[in-house]
Amino acid sequence: MSAATPAVVTDLIPEAPPAEPARPRLLLIGTALTVGAIAMAFAGMFALYAVNRQEFGEGWIPDGAGTIPLTPASVMLVTLLMSSVTVQWVKWAIAHDDRMNTYLAAGITLVLSAAFLNQASFLYGWMGWEVAGEHAVQAVLIYAITGTQIVMLVVAMIFLALMSFRALGGQYSAKDHEGLTAAALFWHASVLAYAMIWAAIYNIK
């Protein structure tokens, strides 16, 4: 009798592919670096403002509170502080897969920021600084610093809106919400920038 042919066992189940490496948080890191660069720019502008104010002496802001009214500027600060709370609400909601509250909080945040921009236009009209006037140095510095913060807030609004649309499309969830976290970080930075403006320019004058 011939020897039995040994059975050949074929592995029908291929080896599982290795797990994908964790994606680096490029967007969050990039946002943090951008915030750091903006912070250095603000530090330079505030330093320039302080030096010129010190050299000018008394009467740096003519007519005191009549030229830069503190009440509208304070209302603007409260508005932005409220938006800082609601943008954190956005981050909390998406981290818990609560999409309804994510969209609601994002909408409220954008409405508050739009209210801030409206208040800023009112304050600019009230101040009535002339760049080529007698107080040109003050006007240029104040408009440069406050205008930079306004541009920063507009960018934060666009950033948050884009990330919210991505969440609406299902790209963000409790497991991955890096974009909304980065948008919240940039938003808080813009609020902090205005708080510094309120303290150094509008309040102290």
pLDDT of residue 189: 98
pTM across the whole model: 0.83
pLDDT of residue 12: 53
Over residues 31-59, the mean pLDDT reads: 92
Which tens digit of pLDDT belongs to each residue from 76-125?
999 999 999 999 999 999 999 899 999 999 999 999 999 999 999 999 88
Which tens digit of pLDDT belongs to each residue from 16-42?
566 555 566 889 999 999 999 999 999
Contact 45, 148 (CB under 8 A): yes
The CATH class, in words, for 26-51+68-203 is mainly alpha
* Residue 52: alpha-carbon gap to chain centroid: 29
* Alpha-carbon dihedral 156, 158, 162, 163, rounded to 10 degrees: 10
Alpha carbons 173 and 2: distance in angstroms, whole number: 65
